[in-house]
Structure 1
Amino acid sequence: MSDTKQIGRKKRVYHLNTPFSVISWPHISVDHQDSVLELLCNLLSPLKQYREAYINSSKGKRAAKKHAQPPKPIPSESALVPPKPELDAKIDVGFNSITRTLREMTQPCNQVEAEKRIYSMIFVARGDQSPAFNCHFPKMIAAASKHLPAEQEIRLVGFSKPCSERLSSCLGVPRVSSVAVARDAPGAEALWTLVREVVAPVTSSWLEDIRSSDFQRTKIGFSDTVAGSKRTRTK
């Protein structure tokens, strides 16, 4: 008994391409990244000053129990903590909160427009992250911007150089991976002007096709290949 190897035969393989193609990040030069980062840090610095002056950073429950102190007397009205800066309510920090708001922006409008938070800019520290943590941002921003006027489309800025530590320092929080600025954020006019000039809106060809009423035929591709060879036994 011996094995003989059959010669591979040709066959045609059919495949369907996905219509949801990859959406690229908007290009921004390194020099413009530095300028945008500088203006962003200047905008966020008052939040750090407020946290350092009036908010005690948490050291954990165990440390709090170890150094427990008797209750302090109620402060007088003159010593009460002032309200947070207005900017604090117009800034979102972190993956979860920004993703949640973008998801809400893509939903049909079922409430008063003034009650909805609408972003104007989103900044992501790409140099400090794996692409798996931020690859969804271009798609979600393209979907969230499709109902906005052209001059108000959300701008996505990806910092290619590591800058998470600097953003953390400007905000006075341990870690910062992404920052979103609302459209009506006070003091953000200069930053918005620069970002709108140097960063193009996120574009998505397949989202544009959805708006069209033209019928799109199914496109089936194929390729000729060689079937794998197999051994047959002969007596």
Structure 2
Amino acid sequence: MERKRTVHVLDTPFSTVAWPQISQEDQDAILELLCSLLAPLGAHRKAHVVPSKGRRRKQKLLSAGEEGSPAVPPAPDLAAHVDVGLAQISRELEAMSSAKVEAPPEGTSEANKVPNRPPYSVVFIARSGQSSAFHCHFPQMVAVASSSRPADQAIRLVGFSAKGCDERLSAVLGIPRVSSIALRVDAPQTKGLLEFVRARVAPVEIAWINEAQSAKYRETKIEPVQTKVGPARVKRAKVS
């Protein structure tokens, strides 16, 4: 006869945060617009940025008296408004979440004010090319970073689920591996892409943020769950 026992667990509806649902057709269209936008950055990198050959090569050139490489022309203006990499984007989202809007002290001149970088408008993640452990934190971070902004200006999170998206982004940017890209609000030439994304991608929602803002008391819910008692546990029970 199968034995069961009752286990009490805390019941909460706020355990997970879902990624925005985006149709595959819309994902493909967004990827095309993004690659078209980033293509000039990759072209500049391929034409003017020489891959590093290490310190030893540089030291040999200096000891031989050879002149360094010619001056590299500046990158397109878009480069200053694009962040690439999980670590960089995670740090920026954390800073946006913890930043407090404070009025400067009276008498502070415009020259003494500390400039703040514009927040993100869209974050793109290639989800199929890596483990979920690398990007599962993004829905919560994006939602928290957008909590103080109007709904129509919230940061959009776009997850590409098709295989090969990371390889295509890498090829466009001329970087060995690209899995995440973020665009800032004032990024040039992004109006069409941003309008398309905002029209088809809903903001990330976290139920516990709305619950916390309501400031209502909620009682702790303890849910009894029936679980099976394994053979080893049954044997120990008979011995005792």
Give 1:182 deviation, angstroms: 0.5
Separation in 1, partners of 2:186, 2:206? 26
TM-score with structure 1 setting the length: 0.84
Residues 135-174 of structure 1 correspond to what in structure 2 (within 5 A)? 135-161=136-162, 162-174=164-176
Once the two structures are TM-superposed, the CA of residue 9 in structure 1 deviates from its matched residue by 7.0
SS at match of 1:222: strand
Structure 1 counterpart SS, 2:19: coil
For the pair 1:47 / 2:61, whether they are aligned, the reply is no
Q: CA deviation at 1:114?
A: 5.5
1:231 paired residue among 219, 225, 238: 238
**How far off its partner does 1:67 sit?**
7.2
Alignment of 1:107 with 2:98, yes or no, is yes
Superposed, 1:67-216 pairs within 5 Å as 70-72=65-67, 80-109=71-100, 115-161=116-162, 162-216=164-218
Cα separation, 2, equivalents of 1:173 and 1:156: 22
| Alpha-carbon distance between aligned partners in 2 of 1:61 and 1:73, rounded to the nearest angstrom | 13
Letter in 2 for 1:159: F
1:12 aligns with 2:6: yes
Say whether the 8 Å CA contact 2:21–2:201 is kept in structure 1. yes
**CA displacement 1:24-72 (0-9 Å, x = unmatched):** 1111111111110010011111111221232222133355567776322
CA distance in 2, matches of 1:38, 1:9: 57
Structure 1 residues not aligned, in runs of 5+: 1-6
Contact 1:138 1:202 in 2 (8 A): yes
1:101 and 1:117 in contact (8 A); partners too:
no
SS of 2:121's partner is: strand
- Could you give the per-residue CA deviations for residues 137-181 of structure 1, whole angstroms, max 9, x where no partner exists? 111111111111111101111111121111111111111010000
Q: Distance in 1 between matches of 2:39 and 2:28?
A: 16
- The 2-side partners of 1:188 and 1:30 are apart by 21
CA distance in 2, matches of 1:181, 1:60: 31
Instruction: Provide the rounded CA distance (Å) in 1 between the counterparts of 2:126 and 2:69.
Output: 42
What percent of counterpart residues are identical? 45
- What is the one-letter code of the residue matched to 1:193? E
Structure number with bigger Rg: 1
Provide closer, same or farther for how the CA distance between residues 203 and 179 of structure 1 changes in structure 2, counting only shifts above 3 A: same
TM-score by length of 2: 0.83
- Call closer, same or farther: CA 1:83–1:197 in 2, change over 3 Å: same
More divergent stretch after superposition (171-180 vs 224-233): 224-233
Report the CA distance shift for 1:74/1:53 in structure 2 as closer, same or farther (over 3 A): closer
Aligned to 2:109: none
CA displacement 1:185-209 (0-9 Å, x = unmatched)? 0001110011111111111111111
Paired letter, 1:98: I
Count of matched residue positions in the alignment of Structure 1 and Structure 2? 223
User: Structure 2 unaligned runs (5+)?
Assistant: 103-112
Higher relative contact order (CA 8 A, sep 6+): 1
Q: What letter matches 1:209 in structure 2?
A: E
Residue identity opposite 1:167 in structure 2:
L
